[in-house]
Chains A and B, each alone.
Chain A
Amino acid sequence: MKRILCKILFYNKANPVVAASLCFIGAYIGYLVWYILNHYLPASAADNSYVLVSLLSAWFCAFLGIYQLPDQLCMNRRIQTILCYPVEVRTILSVVGMRVFLLQSGICATFLYPFFLFEAHHRKEAALAMLFCCILTVALDIAVILFSILISRFCASDIVGYAFVVFQYGSFLILAWLAGNTVFSCFHKPGFLSDSAGVLKRYITGQSPAAMQGYELRSILWIWGAALTGMTVLMAVLKLAAKHWYVRGYLNVQSFRHRETEKQPSVSHIKHPYFLLEWKRVTRNKELIFFSNIKNIITVVILSRLLLHNFSQFGLKGTCVEELFLLMSCCSVNTISSTAYSSDDNKSCYAFLPIFGRRLFLWKTIQGFLWGEITVLLFWFILIGFERPPVMNTFLLLFYGTSMNYVCVWLGVCIDLKMPRIVNSTNELLHGNISKVIVLITAASLTVVEIILVGGKWVPIPLLPFACLAGAGVAAGEYGYWKFCKGDFYDTDS
């Protein structure tokens, strides 16, 4: 029965080609990571690189759990259909939990198998590290499920969706901060990995017990005892919470999107039918607005801090490289444009209503552009407020931000038009959105090419005016494509 339930909930079934592909990908990535760490980590750290890999695989597992478990348990609309049947809550939880745990085990195995196979002297540590990762993952999964049930049950239906976004995104930020610090420590603090390995050996794996003193053995027993007791308590609480709160919580989350409101919605004065459609698509979907603005701003700040210092090596200090990257990133993570068609519940009606595909595309672009411009202006004000660039540069930066905003929005809408995604919740749509990644990669490539061309003296003008020209050129090209390639927008005679 669990297999059929799995098919109902996730619409997929095991396939030998996919399984073989995943095994091959896992084996390749695991080996590549192992090879790179062994050759490029500082010599003192390379011997204990399995600790870094264990931490990173635990990070990936936690990341997967934080996004997958709440999405599948509380937002999957297909659960509503099986709630009418005599299916126990614990069966649903075990089906979802086991699926995620299998994926997480695959991640742990992917990253740790080379240490097991190719480092005979680390075989025992690698096996125990894998076990440790799995136990840690299970504990984290239980905690995430518990939190999800509590949020869904005890948050009011008009805020429960935001509560999930804050929970998932807050956890992601904590994980990102932890991962960033771990990697930084590995490269810049020589003793970090060996110290961590020492702790692992001493307190978790209990290496050479004969050499240990009594208090150390007691510490090990305490740690393992506390971990097992903690797990048991968590499991018991989860069992109770699931039994009493899960179904009500799930229904509470389902009523978030199109909830009944006592007050009448304000009368809209928008006269233009296409603008009305687009405005309502965005403003009636609060998760989308949250994702497109607040979340993107935070992501851009973090990304810029993580990525920008690498560009100092291009020798272009003082040529607005950081500002360009910051503006480019904040333009390319626009979710409203990259989900323009996927988040439109009415798209199936456009085939038989007299709606011009080209005009709809234009209004989707305008909608995305307007929301994206808010972020651009915000960043522009922050930039000129904190860095006080020359007046000319100030206006050029605004022009660059605006043109890149149009470039990215157009590209996002176009990608989503050509390959829209079919999902059963906004959360599912916003997590793992490949269109956004393609836009980000394209925009970043454009900026890197501009930097290389100016840095290599291929272009005789400074970087900022050149970037503005290039941005405007690409934007004009995109507009021209929309204007003249009519057939690509599915209109027959418009």
Chain B
Amino acid sequence: MIRRLLKSILGENFTENNAKLAAVNFGIILLMFVLSGIMLFFLPEQISILHSGTTYYPVPSVLGVWLFPVIALIVNLLFIWQNRLSKMNSAIFVILLAAMMVSYINMM
């Protein structure tokens, strides 16, 4: 079923290699969602999602915690639409995952 889904997402760009890479990328993003959900229990009620100089903009953690996974999801869809699937995408998502975890740990 996963293979059929990947086939329909990738369309004419479906190859064994692309399917494997897309599956890995979706897997990393899913992991980001799961980890963000778990981190909700440890994060303070308000977290800062943006700051310009000395001004911080906090939002409730239940809202702000999904920002990183959503950005990753958007980037992944862009990669798929532009037919730019490669190992480098997965590396970018791993870096994003690491950055997300570091920022959560800093906020705790």
A–B touch (CB < 8 A): the answer is: yes
Binding site for B on A (CB under 8 A): 11-13, 15, 17-18, 21-22, 24-25, 28-29, 31-32, 35-36, 39-40, 310-311, 313-314, 415, 418-422, 432, 434, 438
Q: Give Cα distance in the complex from A60 to B70, angstroms.
A: 19
The reply on B42 being an interface residue by CB < 8 A is no
Query: Could you tell me the distance between the alpha carbons of A18 and B73 in the complex, rounded to whole angstroms?
Result: 10
**Chain A nearest CB: distance from B78 CB in Å?**
6
Contact of B83 among A31, A310, A422 (CB under 8 A): A422
Q: Is B107 close to A, CB under 8 A?
A: no
Would you give 6 A-B contacts (Cβ < 8 Å), ordered by A?
A12-B11, A28-B70, A31-B63, A32-B59, A311-B53, A418-B88
| B9 nearest in chain A by CB position | A15
CA distance A330 to B57 in the complex (A): 29
CA distance A10 to B52 in the complex (A): 40
**A200 CB, nearest partner CB in chain B, Å:** 27
Q: CA A377 – CA B61 in complex, angstroms?
A: 46
Is B34 an interface residue, CB under 8 A from the partner?
A: no
Extra inter-chain contacts (17) besides given A418-B87, A420-B84, A421-B84, CB under 8 Å: A12-B81, A15-B5, A21-B77, A25-B73, A25-B74, A32-B63, A35-B59, A310-B53, A313-B53, A415-B88, A418-B86, A418-B88, A421-B83, A422-B83, A432-B78, A434-B78, A434-B79
Instruction: Assess whether A314 is in contact with B79, with CB atoms less than 8 Å apart.
Output: no
Chain B residues closer than 8 Å to A24, beta-carbon distance: 70, 73
Main secondary structure of the interface of B (DSSP, over half): helix
Where the two chains meet, the residues of B that have a C-beta atom closer than 8 Å to any C-beta of A are: 5, 8-9, 11-12, 52-55, 57, 59, 63, 66-67, 70, 73-75, 77-79, 81-89, 92
Contacts of A13 in B (CB 8 A): 8, 11
User: Contacts A28-B66, A434-B78 hold; do A21 and B89 have CB atoms under 8 A apart?
Assistant: no
Residues of B contacting A434 in the complex (Cβ-Cβ under 8 angstroms)? 75, 78-79, 82, 84
Q: Which 5 A-B pairs have the closest CB atoms?
A: A313-B53, A419-B84, A418-B88, A419-B86, A15-B8
Residues of B near A35 (CB, < 8 A) are: 59, 63
Residues of B within 8 A of A432 (CB): 78, 82
Q: How many angstroms between the C-alpha atoms of A323 and B6 in the bound complex? A: 46
In angstroms, Cα B64 to Cα A29, docked, is 11
- By beta carbon, the residue of chain A nearest B53 is A313
List residues of chain A with CB within 8 A of the CB of B8: 13, 15, 17
Contact: A419 with B57, CB < 8 Å?
no
Which of chain B's residues has its CB closest to A22's CB? B77
Q: How far is B59's CA from A415's CA once the two chains are assembled, in angstroms?
A: 34
Contact B53 A314 (CB under 8 A): yes
Inter-chain contacts of B86 with A (CB < 8 A) = 418-419
With a CB–CB cut-off of 8 A, which chain A residues contact B77?
18, 21-22
Least CB distance from A326 to B in Å reads 19
- Which residue of chain A has its CB nearest to the CB of B50? A36
Tell me whether A40 and B57 are in contact (CB under 8 A): yes
